[in-house]
Amino acid sequence: MSRIAKAVAADPNRVIVFDTTLRDGEQAPGFSMSPDDKVRMARVLADLRVDVIEAGFAAASPGDEEGVRRVVGEVGRGDEGPVFCSLARASEADIDAAWRGLRATQERRVHIFLGSSPIHRAAKLKMTTDQVLETADRAVRYARTRFDDVEFSPEDAIRTEPEFLAEICEVAAAAGATTLNIPDTVGYATPTEIGDLFRTLIARVRVRFPHVVFSAHCHDDLGLAVANTLSAVEAGARQVEGAINGIGERAGNASVEEIIMAIRTRADRYGLHTAADSTQLVRASRMLSEITHTPTPRNKAIVGMNAFAHEAGIHQHGMMADARTYEIMRPQDVGFDGTSFVLGKHSGRHAVAKRAAALGHSVEGQHLLDAFAGFKHRADQIGEIDDRELLAIIEATRPFATGERTHVAA
């Protein structure tokens, strides 16, 4: 039994985090990474304590095989670190390339994929159902001669006939697959649909193969990747696959950071946990942005600049009374220093006075009324008010002994 399967068997409420930033994420247009980049990113993922790092697709090119080898050699931490994985088609040549890339570590996994849907069988593979089953059986059996830990994915599983999908899962498990991944390759599923599918598959396959771990790999074409992944988890999946910032083919993968924090924040609903160190999430997001030269959207859940920023006066007032009024997580839990109050046209007097005090200025009474009026006028002009602008407004509205005031320039 693989280390991952043992962990799930020992703790049925443990959810394995499989990170595919360096493979499915990296192969998306605009996100290509050099071997050096992959090593830098993998170090952060190891600190995040993801369970599995899919380091690449070793058979894709000599450079990708070298990238896998370097990640393993420079980031591997033995029994205490992540399991390293390479993707492979259902062929001996691909499995051999994966083994070459991963052979420096004992904590290795090969992830074999083979199209299973009617469109993939006809258009891409030109295989019958029997040929697909034979190929899956042969590939997994060969992989088990080199790997103790074998993951099998019937590609485009969601658009595969349910009976055939169950059959290919049973064939792969019988051949020695330790993880069965059910990928929504084209982001087609809905949460109810994918939950029903996982429940049906698990009920059937577990009768003969009780220790197989079921995994969810969801793409975001309809914006449902995280919701679908969580639905699969509720239905019994105990491995989740995704990428930092949700990068990946087309609209991307499920966002690892969103899945981790949903499971943690809604433990009351799921009753599950991961081994991830969530305080590393912002660091991982920023490292990926730096490597790929792609900024994280301000409104990105969990790790975006606005995720814990408040501008509306009603929200700021509530936050000053009790942060739980508008925050369901602590910013420190994901790696931010703290909550950010953004001063803009929606902010109220309390927030302006509090920020002024933090800058060393006591603003109250008529001065606060005048400063707040000047603040609103300037915010309408330029939007966000930074500390320099606020200090200028405070100074411009400061009362003098004669009772006169200067005026904020239009």
Boundary-marking domain end, from 292, 319, 334: 292
Angle of the 256-265 helix axis to the 281-292 helix axis, nearest 10: 170
| Inter-residue contact 182 to 198 (CB < 8 Å) | yes
Q: Are residues 193 and 279 in the same domain?
A: yes
Task: Report d(CA 51, CA 274) in Å as an integer.
Answer: 9
Among candidate residues 209, 210, 285, the one with its CA nearest the CA of residue 244 = 285
Q: Which residues span the domain enclosing 196?
A: 3-292
Q: Are residues 81 and 39 in the same domain?
A: yes
> Mind listing the pLDDT tens digit for each residue in 69-101?
999 999 988 778 999 999 999 999 999 999 999
| 52: number of Cβ within 10 Å | 25
Task: State how many domains the chain has.
Answer: 2
Q: Are residues 257 and 324 in the same domain?
A: no
Q: Are residues 221 and 266 in the same domain?
A: yes
Boundary-marking domain end, from 292, 322, 355: 292
Q: Are residues 281 and 323 in the same domain?
A: no
The token pair that represents 87 in the structure block: 């993707």
Among candidate residues 259, 256, 181, the one with its CA nearest the CA of residue 25 = 256
Q: Are residues 136 and 26 in the same domain?
A: yes
Confidence of residue 403 (pLDDT cuts 50, 70, 90): very low
Query: Exposed, middle or buried: residue 391 (CB in 10 Å: 0-12, 13-18, 19+)?
Result: middle
Rounded-to-5 percentages of helix, strand, coil across the chain = 50, 15, 35
Report if residue 103 sits inside a domain: yes
Task: Report d(CA 115, CA 17) in Å as an integer.
Answer: 24
Q: Are residues 313 and 170 in the same domain?
A: no
Q: What is the CATH number of the domain that holds 179?
A: 3.20.20.70
Rounded to a whole number of angstroms, the distance between the first and last alpha carbons of the chain is 72
> Mind listing the pLDDT tens digit for each residue in 261-297?
999 999 999 999 999 999 999 999 999 999 999 998 9
Q: Are residues 288 and 313 in the same domain?
A: no
> Mind listing the pLDDT tens digit for each residue in 133-166?
999 999 999 999 999 999 999 999 999 999 999 9
Task: Report d(CA 85, CA 147) in Å as an integer.
Answer: 11
Q: Are residues 270 and 392 in the same domain?
A: no
